[in-house]
Amino acid sequence: MRYEAFHQRSIDDPEGFWAEQARAIDWHTPPQKILDYRDPPFRRWFSGGTTNLCHNAVDRHLDARGEQLALVAISSETGVTREISYRELFDEVNVFASMLKSLDVGRGDRVVIYMPNMAEAVFAMLACARIGAVHSVVFGGFASHNLALRIDDARPKLLICADAGMRGGKVIAYKPLVDAACTEAQHPPPHVLMVSRGLDPDASRVEGRDVDYDALRAAHAGARVEVEWLESNEPSYLLYTSGTTGKPKGVQRDVGGYAVALALSMWSIYDVRAGQVMFSTSDVGWAVGHSYNVYGPLIVGATSILYEGLPTNPDPGVWWSICEKYGVRTMFSSPTGIRVLKKQDAAWLKKHDLSQLQWLFLAGEPLDEPTAHWITDGIGKTIIDNYWQTETGWPVLSLMPGLDMKPVKFGSPGLPAPGYRLRVIDDVSGADVGAGEKGVLVIEPPLPPGCLTTVWGDDARFMQSYFSHFKELLYSSLDWAIRDEDGYTFILGRTDDVINVAGHRLGTREIEESCSTHPSVAEAAVIGVHDALKGQVPVVFATLREGDAAAAAEGMRARVVEQLGAVARPARVYVVGALPKTRSGKLLRRSLQALAEQRDPGDLSTLDDPGALDEVRRALERGADSGG
């Protein structure tokens, strides 16, 4: 079927369209009503239907593919690889579910999971789903204060953690962070289940609270736990947004709608079906990790690769060696990950047989054209940008090679995914803007299956955060966008990343894109810094692949003036050895702005490399246009 007809049907006849898609999963009780939209913008998909994510991800595949690999957990940090079949996954999840029940965890109870990319994290998620508990995975290594905030919001019956994680060969002790969070929290869990990896032999134990995973697992060996059939709209999990201010928002996902959306996306967008292999480099603590490391591939009977480690360890070809060994069909990573490889010898891209790899999807941040061209030329595969948010749970914009592959337009994540009614509107008037004009990307409700149903415990915050920005009831993405005459959307950056230079509104993303076109530039981050005359001026922090700092700085300015006009010319350019990022690869632009304005950089608990911040401080001391 052609994309246009497929998408149009999802808009014109959503109930008929999603009724057909719902056949892709198992229902214990068929849905009684496909869409209940009596209380806009709240909606209920597949009302009355009962199903279970764990059953759909594990149990239903046992007869047809019990011996097929379901999960391959690879750690280049510990040197351990675990290959787990669907039958072995079934066994592990049942034992884990029995352990949870012995700790008084049941339907509707919350469980916080604080672990790195390891097999037990997947077992824990699926075990929660099996018994109807609501899991909340918190990115491993998150600061204790941030963990405490999430504990108090979710009020879990249990916290599951690893003794430690590893990053770049360095052990990161988790247990002290868990202990500190439980001390700080007003509603700490009655039990902490600790999985020891042997990385922190001195990890403490709190008597009466802490439970040893290995001992409890041995006590429940061979256990079988019946699936808890959940109404489609019951919560499946909470995933907290990583905002830097205020109380974190618990994005609440349902059960049935999420399963149906993922099943559709796996074949139509990612072109992965039963028996094939998908490799997502995300962490289980992020939205991509939930959808495309765990639930999506398993729901369709594919093999999922779970990777713990850096893209450069033991060498910059490690990702491609995994693709070769396991016959990966579709890979999913981030532009940041590719820009890390861009600093390495491009010969690493050619050292492995990638004949089975069909697609490389990139998401999490806008994909700049120079990086897209570099990786396209390097591996000779089609690179597909796709755009979505923690809140949506699956792509909003993408190309759909499993259905009808459209031409790639570098700089654009493509066309609306099924079920999404997208508009680009003026941020003041709310009127639709024309082709090529800048506006805010919005979604007309009802949101399709898979998207958040509310903010955990706070419907008012759900409304205020997402539906209060315009007179018309619309979901605001809070992203600037342009749509061209062919319907392709280009994301320009957050609406709160706007620089107002002498009355001219400039998106930082647009300036970063221009700077990155300079051949010496590996990566650029642009911020707005206070200026007494102009209000704000753009300031650039950049890492170089090669060349002289002063020449590169002047070259970047010239590119910006040429492409965006003199008003966008960077006031200062700082060349640094590394840019400060979170462990998930997001640039800490607000911290950069604070340092440039001599303010406190704020919470740096998610910082991947503390040395990067020192690099920025030294660059500011040296002055603009000079290298380290």
Q: What are the residue boundaries of the structural domains of the chain, listed by start? A: 3-309+386-479, 502-622
What pLDDT score was predicted for residue 243? 43
Alpha helix stretches (DSSP H) within 58-85: 62-65
3-state helix, strand, coil in the chain (%, to 5): 35, 25, 40
What pLDDT score was predicted for residue 566? 81
CA angle 107, 109, 111 (to 5 degrees): 120
DSSP element (H, E) containing 147: helix 144-154
Task: Please give the CATH topology (third level) of the domain spanning 502-622.
Answer: GMP Synthetase; Chain A, domain 3 (3.30.300)
Nearest partner of 584 among 317, 288, 361, judged by Cα: 288
Low-confidence ranges of the chain (pLDDT < 50): 243-245
Tell me the pTM. Answer: 0.85
What pLDDT score was predicted for residue 254? 98
Beta bridge pairs of residue 535: 501, 531
Q: What are 29-83's pLDDT values in tens digits?
A: 999 999 999 999 999 999 999 999 999 999 999 999 999 999 999 999 999 999 9
Contact 225, 94 (CB under 8 A): yes
How many beta carbons lie within 10 A of that of residue 134, not counting itself? 24
What is the spatial distance between Cα 115 and Cα 68, in angstroms, rounded to a whole number? 26
Q: What is the dihedral of CA 215, 221, 226, 227, to 10 degrees?
A: 60
Q: Look up residue 316 and give its DSSP letter.
A: T
Q: Sort 315 into a burial class: Cβ within 10 Å, 0-12 / 13-18 / 19+.
A: middle
Query: In angstroms, what CA-CA distances link 210 with 77, 175, 204?
Result: 26, 10, 9
Query: In angstroms, what CA-CA distances link 558 with 412, 561, 564, 567?
Result: 24, 5, 10, 12
Q: What is the dihedral of CA 150, 153, 155, 159, to 10 degrees?
A: -10
Query: In angstroms, what CA-CA distances link 584 with 172, 335, 590?
Result: 16, 11, 16
What pLDDT score was predicted for residue 605? 65
Coil, helix or strand at residue 379: helix
What is the spatial distance between Cα 585 and Cα 296, in angstroms, rounded to a whole number? 22
Coil, helix or strand at residue 466: helix
CATH class label, 3-309+386-479: alpha beta
What is the spatial distance between Cα 361 and Cα 372, in angstroms, rounded to a whole number? 11
